[in-house]
Structure 1
Amino acid sequence: MSIIKINAITVPADSGDELAKRFAARAGAVDNQDGFEGFELLQPTDDRTTWLVITRWRDEESFEAWKSSKAFGHGHAQAEGEAPQKPVGMSAELWSYKVAGGSAAK
């Protein structure tokens, strides 16, 4: 059964576009990781400043293998020769869920 990892990232109200830009620059970096099933970046549509990074994995082992992989380190590292970037997020929490029910759109 799939597991869901949600990284809830709180950013200053004027920094959401920068967060989206940084995720777009890394688009596809995790796609070929064994056990990876999907990714979404959710932007709040109200006054909230917490964005959600949602990934779906085959199992906990697949997620843990990705976290310790070179691909994870590369995706979260500063590019060589690039000026250091300040973190966009003010805080982040990692939430973990398993699918307990639901339905599929037809």
Structure 2
Amino acid sequence: MSIVKINVLTVPAEQRETLEKRFASRAGAVENSDGFEWFELLRPVEGTDDYLVYTRWRDEESFTAWMEGPMKAAHQGGEAKGGERPKPAASGSTLWSFEVVQQTGPPVA
């Protein structure tokens, strides 16, 4: 069964737009990875500054391969003017890991 990785990003209000634009500009970066199943960027509505980056993978090995390859390369690139990397939009990050033990989808028409 699949695994889920949720990256909890603490994002100050003044950095929300920056974070969302950065994710939008990376469209397709994870979707073409072997074993990738799903992605969602969840914006907080109330009571927290934490965004949730939800990814679902076929297995732990697929996630690890993406982390050590495409994701690592993406985070090492991306230079701003003057050759400096842009400042992170998040002030903190925590990774949660889950195994999918039950699932359901919409009814098939």
TM-score, structure 2 normalization: 0.87
What do the CA deviations read for 1:19-66 (whole angstroms, capped 9, x no partner)? Answer: 101111111101111101111100011131000000000000000111
Give the percent of matched residue pairs that are identical in Structure 1 and Structure 2. 49
User: Partners in 2 of 1:43 and 1:5 — Cα distance?
Assistant: 16
SS in structure 2 opposite 1:76? helix
Corresponding residue of 1:98: 99
Ranges in structure 2 where 5+ consecutive residues have no aligned partner: none
User: Partners in 2 of 1:105 and 1:28 — Cα distance?
Assistant: 25
Runs of 4+ in 1 over 6 A off after TM superposition: none
Write out aligned runs for 1:46-57 (5 A): 46-57=46-57
User: Partners in 2 of 1:79 and 1:15 — Cα distance?
Assistant: 17
User: Partners in 2 of 1:73 and 1:103 — Cα distance?
Assistant: 32
User: Partners in 2 of 1:18 and 1:53 — Cα distance?
Assistant: 15
* Displacement of 1:104: 1.7
User: Partners in 1 of 2:23 and 2:76 — Cα distance?
Assistant: 13
Paired AA for residue 74 in structure 1? A
Corresponding residue of 1:67: 67
Paired AA for residue 47 in structure 1? G
Corresponding residue of 1:6: 6
Alignment length (residue pairs): 104
Corresponding residue of 2:87: 86
User: Partners in 1 of 2:73 and 2:46 — Cα distance?
Assistant: 33
Ranges in structure 1 where 5+ consecutive residues have no aligned partner: none
The two structures, once aligned, show a CA RMSD in angstroms of: 1.3
Identify, as 1 or 2, the structure richer in helix. Answer: 2
